[in-house]
């Protein structure tokens, strides 16, 4: 059995935020949905939907840069940070794809909703030293 030398700290995920992300994933299918996560390093506070402007939105996502800037400004006003982004995998598990790895960067929480099994699976990931490490969620009300 492999022992991880690096454990990502847990992040709290409120049930209404998780529900909003899952609802967006279902609304957007068969395309991938995407959005931004506001909060702090330890807690997601809000999920904000964004337009997926990728040319092939059924296979990848790109957050509308105009919306991205607006959300950053809104977060700043509310003394929150844009701590991550979410997107969906309509036909595959909630694990980062090769494309996700190509576009990854550090210190950002990547939340993926997998719809493959019919039941939404929501998982968190962080890019650390060339790999995605799972981020455990503490699910709160
Ligand atoms: Zn992906």
When pLDDT is cut at 50, 70 and 90, the band that residue 118 belongs to is confident
CA of 45 to the centre of ligand 1 (A): 22
Q: Band of the pLDDT at 6, cuts 50, 70, 90?
A: confident
Q: Provide the 10 A C-beta neighbour count for residue 63.
A: 20
Q: What is the mean pLDDT of residues 18-46?
A: 97
Sheet holding 44-50, edge to edge: 44-50, 34-39, 81-89, 109-114, 121-128, 131-135
Return the C-alpha torsion angle 6, 47, 70, 42, nearest 10: -40
Residues with C-beta atoms within 5 A of ion ligand 1: 97, 100
CA of 112 to the centre of ligand 1 (A): 7
- Tell me: the pLDDT tens digits for 63-73? 999 999 999 99
- Give residues with Cβ within 8 angstroms of 15, minimum separation 6: 139, 140, 141
Distance 97 CA to ligand 1 centre (A): 5
Looking at residue 4, what is its pLDDT? Answer: 59
Per-residue model confidence (pLDDT) at position 111: 98
Closest CA to 82 of 34, 16, 136, 25: 34
Task: Indicate the pTM of the whole model.
Answer: 0.95
Q: How far is the CA of 42 from the centre of ligand 1 (A)?
A: 23
- Cα separation, 22 vs 112, whole angstroms: 10
Q: Ligand 1 mean position to 79 CA, how many Å?
A: 29
């Amino acid at each position: 059995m492999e022992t991880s030398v690096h454990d990502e700290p847990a992040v709290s995920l409120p049930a209404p935020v998780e529900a909003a992300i899952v609802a967006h994933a279902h609304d957007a299918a068969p395309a991938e949905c995407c959005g931004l996560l506001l909060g702090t390093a330890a807690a997601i506070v809000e999920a904000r939907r964004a337009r997926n402007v990728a040319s092939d939105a059924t296979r990848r996502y790109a957050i509308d840069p105009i919306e991205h800037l607006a959300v950053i400004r809104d977060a700043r006003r509310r003394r929150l940070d844009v701590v991550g982004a979410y997107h969906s995998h309509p036909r595959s598990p909630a694990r980062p794809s090769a494309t996700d790895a190509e576009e990854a960067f550090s210190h950002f929480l990547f939340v993926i909703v997998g719809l493959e099994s019919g039941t939404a699976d929501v998982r968190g990931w962080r890019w650390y030293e060339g790999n995605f490490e799972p981020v455990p969620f503490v699910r709160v009300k």
